[in-house]
Every structure is written in structure tokens, then in C-alpha cells.
Amino acid sequence: MAHIVTIRQLANRLESATASSERVDSLQELQALARSHPEEVGEHAMPQLLDLLHEQAGYEEYMEALDLLFRLIKHKNASAAATNTVLVLGDPKSAVVSTSF
């Protein structure tokens, strides 16, 4: 359960960070956790991830966020991938994100 606390802390840091480098670091740490805990990362960090994609972020932040999103919805754990896909599609921001590309 310690990983859930860490995921929540990283999600909060992603949301509250003012420096791009802090957000990139948080995204990279979430990517590492998503390898073994994809469902938990999706459950606890998806809102912040989608918010970041909706905001005016820097190139590196967008790339890291898109990489994490891809890892969450295309994970080898089919159940986690399906759950995370439902989280993305169920969020009203996802329609805006998908049409902005």
C-alpha cells in the first residue's frame, strides 16, 4: 500500500508544481510505478494527468504525459488497460484533449 501513498504524492506534486522540471520528474516517477501498478496509477493520477494535457504545458511535459497515458491504456495487464481507458473516456476533458491534436 506504500505505492498508493507515493502515487498520490506524485499526483499532488504534478498538480501543484510550478516548475516544468518538477512536473517532468513526477511524470517519470509515475511511469516507473505504472510498470508494476498501472491500475493504481490510473486511479489516483489520471485527473492530474488529463489536467496537464489540457493546460498549456511545455513540449517535454506533453511528451512525458502522453507517454504515461499510452502506457496506462496499452498496458500488458488487459484489465488495468481497460480500466484506465474507461477513466480517460469517462472524463469530459479527454474529448478536448483528443480533438486538440
Alpha-carbon span 64 to 86, nearest angstrom? 21
Q: How far is CA 37 from CA 42, 71, 84, in A?
A: 9, 11, 12
Q: Look at residue 101 and tell me whether its pLDDT is greater than 50.
A: no
pLDDT tens for 83-97 read 999 998 887 766 554
- Maximum C-alpha span of the chain: 36
User: What is the pTM (predicted TM-score) of this model?
Assistant: 0.87
Best CA proximity match to 97, nearest among 74, 78, 70, 71:
70
pLDDT digit string, tens, across residues 53-68? 888 788 999 999 999 9
Q: Supply the angle between the helices 20-36 and 59-73 in degrees, to the nearest 10.
A: 10
